[in-house]
C-alpha cells in the first residue's frame, strides 16, 4: 500500500511538472536563451531558431492574444534574477493577418498561461505599449506609448520598477514605466510572438539581441568595473556584432589604418586585437603600464600616443611609442594631460590639460616641445580631434551649459558649436574619408554636463561633417571607455566600440 501511494505521488508530481513546465521548456539552449515553449492552449505549435551567421532569432507563434486573464503565444526564454536590461531590434515577417499580431520582450513569473508578467510590445499596426498583469489570473493593464511603429525595443528591470524604452531606429528613445510590480526575483525573460488569431502562425525576426546586467548602485567608479563586449557597428545599417567578450574592463578601441587590428587598454596595459584570429595580445609599452583610455594612433598608423598616470608628475602624462611596441618617449612634462589626436602630418598632438584650475585644449609638437593653448573659454574643453585634411579640430565643450560638440580651425580660431545641446555630447570622431562625425551622447537626466561616467544609457550618434540632424546609430549601455578614441574602420563604413555588462552575476542558473 505504501509502495502504491509512493508510485501515485511520483506520477502526480511528474504530471504537475509537465503541466507547469511543458516538455519544450526543457529543450537545449537557443543562442543565449535556455529554451522556448508555447504558452497557453495554442492550436498551432510555435518555434524559435537562431542563425549564428546573422546573430538573428526567428520566432513563430500563434494564439488568441496576450490579454485579459490569460495568454497564448510562443516564448523564447531565459531564467534570470536581479536587475537587467533587455534590448533588440524587431521586425515582422510578411504582411500578416491580424493588425494586432505582436512582437516584443516579456518578463514572466512562470510559464503558466495566466501568470503575472510585463511586456514591451509592438503590434502589427504599429501600436507600441507596455502591458502587464499584476497577479495570477488578473486582467491585463496597458500603458500606450506616444510612439507608434517602434522597431527598437528595450525593457529594463530595476527592483520592482520596469522601464520600456522604444524608438524607430535612428531616433532617441521614448520611455514608459511601471512601478511596484513584484514578479519575484527569479523570473523568465525573453522574446515572444503572438498572432492574435488562434488559427494563424506569425513570425518575427529579432536582431542585435542583448541581455545586460547593469552596475549595482553601490559600484565605485574607477575602482570597480563591469565586463566588456568589444563590438563592431555598421554605421549605415546599425547592425552590431560582438567580436570579443571579457569579464574585465576593456576600453576605447582604436582601429589601425591597415584594417587588421584594434588597439585598446585594459587594467593599465595596451592590447593589440587581431581581427582575423580574434585574439588579443599585450602591446609592449615598457615601464609605462598605467595607461588610460586616451590613446590614439598617428594617421599613418606607425605611432601610438599614450596617456598614462604618473602621480608624482601630477596625473596623466603623454607618451609616444611605435605601434609595434617599444620604449615610450615622454612628451608632456606634467599632468594631468590627456591625449586625443595626432595631426595628419604627424607633427602635432592635441590634448586636454588642467592648467591653473582650467581645463583647456592644447597642442604640442609630437617630438616634444612647448605647449600651445588653443581654447580659453570657461568650462571644460575636451576630446579634440583633427579632420583628415588638417584644417579643423572638433572637440566637446560645456562652456554654454550642456556638453556640446564644437569645431575650430587648427590654430584655435573660429570656434563654433556643432550640436544643439539636447544631450551631453562627447568625443567627436571624424571618419577617414572626412564625411562623417560620430560621438557619444549621455542623457541629461543621468549625467552632469562635465562628467562622462561608466555604465550609463548612451547613444552613439552620427551626423554629416557638413552639418545636419544627428542620427542614433547604436543604443548602448556604456559611457566612459565606449568610444573615447578614434575608432573608425579605414573604409569609413564601421566603428568599433565597447558595451558593458556584469558577467560575474550571471543571473539564474
152 and 296 share one domain: no
- Which pLDDT belongs to residue 8? 33
Angle at the Cα of 404 (from 392 to 150), degrees rounded to 5? 115
Residue 14 lies in a domain: no
365 and 488 share one domain: yes
148 and 264 share one domain: no
174 and 239 share one domain: no
Task: Give yes or no for a contact between 117 and 106, defined as CB atoms under 8 angstroms apart.
Answer: yes
- Residue whose entry in the numeric block shows the C-alpha cell 589604418: 257
340 and 466 share one domain: yes
Residue 97, number of CB atoms within 10 A of its CB: 14
Q: Which CATH number is 102's domain given?
A: 2.60.120.200
Task: Print burial letters for 157-171: b (CB count within 10 Å at least 16), e (below 16).
Answer: beeeebbbbbbbbee
Q: Which CATH number is 379's domain given?
A: 2.120.10.30
| Cα-Cα-Cα-Cα dihedral sign, residues 291, 293, 298, 301 | positive
- Which pLDDT belongs to residue 308? 98
- Which pLDDT belongs to residue 14? 39
280 and 318 share one domain: yes
CA 135 to chain centre: 33
Residue 268 lies in a domain: yes
42 and 176 share one domain: yes
452 and 303 share one domain: yes
The cell numbers describing 134, all together, are: 499584476
Task: Give yes or no for a contact between 417 and 404, defined as CB atoms under 8 angstroms apart.
Answer: yes
- Which pLDDT belongs to residue 181? 98
Residue 17 lies in a domain: no
Q: Which residues contact 491 (CB under 8 A, 6 or more apart)?
A: 259, 432
Closest CA to 76 of 67, 86, 68, 84: 86
The cell numbers describing 295, all together, are: 590613446
- Residue at a domain's end among 212, 236, 265: 212
What is the SS3 assignment for 389-425? CCCEEEEEECCCCCCEEEEEECCCCCCEECCCCCCEE
- Residue at a domain's end among 169, 185, 212: 212
Residue 356 lies in a domain: yes
- Residue at a domain's end among 185, 212, 239: 212
Q: For the residues of 161-210, what is the DSSP string, one character each? A: EEEEEEE-TTS--EEEEE-S----SEEEEEEEEE-SSTT--EEEEEEEEE
Phi–psi pair at 211, nearest 5 degrees: -115, 115
Residue 413 lies in a domain: yes
SS3 state of residue 469: coil
Task: Give yes or no for a contact between 467 and 449, defined as CB atoms under 8 angstroms apart.
Answer: no
258 and 124 share one domain: no
Complete edge-to-edge strand list for the sheet that includes strand 471-478: 424-430, 436-442, 456-464, 471-478
The cell numbers describing 242, all together, are: 560582438
197 and 255 share one domain: no
Q: Which residues contact 354 (CB under 8 A, 6 or more apart)?
A: 315, 336
Q: What is the pLDDT of residues 338-360, one digit of tens each?
A: 999 999 999 999 999 999 999 99
Domain with 102, as residue range(s), is 22-212
Q: Which secondary structure element, helix H or strand E, spans residue 307, and what is its range?
A: strand 303-310
- The count of domains in the chain is 2
Q: How far apart are CA 339 and CA 265, in angstroms?
A: 14
pTM given for the model: 0.93
Per-residue tens of pLDDT for the chain, all 509 residues: 334 433 333 333 333 333 344 434 446 899 999 999 999 999 999 999 999 999 999 999 999 999 999 999 999 999 999 999 999 999 999 999 999 999 999 999 999 999 999 999 999 999 999 999 999 999 999 999 999 999 999 999 999 999 999 999 999 999 999 999 999 999 999 999 999 999 999 999 999 999 999 999 999 999 999 999 999 999 999 999 999 999 999 999 999 999 999 999 999 999 999 999 999 999 999 999 999 999 999 999 999 999 999 999 999 999 999 999 999 999 999 999 999 999 999 999 999 999 999 999 999 999 999 999 999 999 999 999 999 999 999 999 999 999 999 999 999 999 999 999 999 999 999 999 999 999 999 999 999 999 999 999 999 999 999 999 999 999 999 999 999 999 999 999 999 999 999 998 554 44
Q: How far apart are CA 102 and CA 123, in angstroms?
A: 5
- Which pLDDT belongs to residue 16? 37
Q: How far apart are CA 207 and CA 1, in angstroms?
A: 57
Task: Give yes or no for a contact between 488 and 387, defined as CB atoms under 8 angstroms apart.
Answer: no
Residue 110 lies in a domain: yes
Q: How far apart are CA 260 and CA 496, in angstroms?
A: 13
- Which pLDDT belongs to residue 27? 65
135 and 167 share one domain: yes
Residue 7 lies in a domain: no
Q: How far apart are CA 104 and CA 122, in angstroms?
A: 6
Q: Which residues contact 241 (CB under 8 A, 6 or more apart)?
A: 55, 231, 232
339 and 454 share one domain: yes
Closest CA to 105 of 33, 29, 171, 10: 33
Q: How far apart are CA 321 and CA 329, in angstroms?
A: 6
Residue 118 lies in a domain: yes
Q: How far apart are CA 121 and CA 192, in angstroms?
A: 9
CA 497 to chain centre: 9
Amino acid at each position: 500500500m505504501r509502495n502504491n501511494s509512493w508510485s501515485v505521488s511520483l506520477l502526480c508530481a511528474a504530471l504537475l511538472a509537465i503541466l507547469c513546465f511543458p516538455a519544450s521548456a526543457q529543450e537545449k539552449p537557443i543562442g543565449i536563451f535556455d529554451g522556448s515553449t508555447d504558452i497557453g492552449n495554442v492550436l498551432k505549435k510555435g518555434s524559435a531558431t537562431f542563425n549564428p551567421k546573422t546573430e538573428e532569432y526567428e520566432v513563430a507563434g500563434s494564439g488568441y492574444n496576450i490579454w485579459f486573464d490569460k495568454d497564448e503565444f510562443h516564448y523564447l526564454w531565459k531564467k534570470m534574477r536581479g536587475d537587467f536590461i533587455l534590448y533588440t531590434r524587431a521586425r515582422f515577417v510578411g504582411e500578416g493577418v491580424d493588425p494586432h499580431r505582436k512582437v516584443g520582450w516579456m518578463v514572466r513569473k512562470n510559464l503558466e498561461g495566466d501568470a503575472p508578467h510585463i511586456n514591451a510590445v509592438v503590434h502589427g499596426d504599429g501600436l507600441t505599449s507596455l502591458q502587464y498583469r499584476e497577479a495570477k489570473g488578473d486582467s491585463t493593464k496597458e500603458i500606450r506609448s506616444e510612439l507608434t511603429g517602434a522597431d527598437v525595443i528595450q525593457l529594463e528591470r530595476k527592483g520592482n520598477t520596469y522601464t520600456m524604452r522604444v524608438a524607430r531606429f535612428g531616433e532617441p528613445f521614448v520611455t514608459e514605466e511601471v512601478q511596484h510590480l513584484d514578479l519575484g526575483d527569479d523570473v523568465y525573460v525573453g522574446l515572444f510572438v503572438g498572432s492574435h488569431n488562434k488559427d494563424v502562425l506569425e513570425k518575427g525576426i529579432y536582431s542585435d539581441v542583448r541581455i545586460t546586467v547593469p552596475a549595482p548602485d553601490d559600484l565605485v567608479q574607477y575602482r570597480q568595473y563591469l565586463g566588456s563586449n568589444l563590438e563592431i557597428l555598421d554605421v549605415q545599417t546599425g547592425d552590431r556584432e560582438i567580436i570579443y567578450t571579457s569579464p574585465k574592463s576593456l576600453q576605447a578601441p582604436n582601429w589601425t589604418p591597415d584594417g587588421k587590428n584594434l588597439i585598446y587598454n585594459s587594467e593599465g596595459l595596451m592590447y593589440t586585437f587581431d581581427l582575423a584570429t580574434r585574439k588579443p595580445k599585450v602591446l609592449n609599452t615598457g615601464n609605462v603600464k598605467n595607461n588610460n583610455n586616451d590613446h590614439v594612433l598617428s594617421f599613418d598608423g606607425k605611432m601610438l600616443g599614450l596617456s598614462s598616470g604618473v602621480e608624482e608628475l601630477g596625473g596623466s602624462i603623454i607618451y609616444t611609442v611605435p605601434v609595434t611596441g617599444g620604449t615610450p618617449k615622454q612628451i608632456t612634462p606634467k599632468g594631468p594631460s590627456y591625449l586625443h589626436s595626432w595631426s595628419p602630418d604627424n607633427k602635432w598632438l592635441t590634448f586636454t590639460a588642467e592648467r591653473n584650475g582650467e581645463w583647456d585644449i592644447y597642442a604640442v609638437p609630437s617630438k616634444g616641445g612647448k605647449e600651445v593653448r588653443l581654447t580659453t573659454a570657461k568650462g571644460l574643453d575636451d576630446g579634440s580631434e583633427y579632420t583628415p585634411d588638417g584644417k579643423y579640430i572638433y572637440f566637446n565643450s560645456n562652456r554654454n551649459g550642456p556638453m556640446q560638440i564644437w569645431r575650430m580651425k587648427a590654430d584655435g580660431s573660429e570656434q563654433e558649436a556643432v550640436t544643439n545641446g539636447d544631450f551631453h555630447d562627447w568625443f567627436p570622431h571624424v571618419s577617414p574619408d572626412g564625411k562623417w562625425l560620430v560621438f557619444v551622447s549621455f542623457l541629461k537626466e543621468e549625467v552632469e554636463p562635465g562628467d562622462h561616467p561608466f555604465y550609463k544609457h548612451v547613444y552613439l550618434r552620427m551626423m554629416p561633417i557638413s552639418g545636419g540632424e544627428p542620427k542614433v546609430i547604436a543604443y548602448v549601455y556604456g559611457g566612459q571607455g565606449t568610444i573615447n578614441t578614434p575608432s573608425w574602420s579605414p573604409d569609413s563604413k564601421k566603428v568599433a566600440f565597447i558595451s558593458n555588462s556584469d558577467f560575474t552575476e550571471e543571473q539564474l542558473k
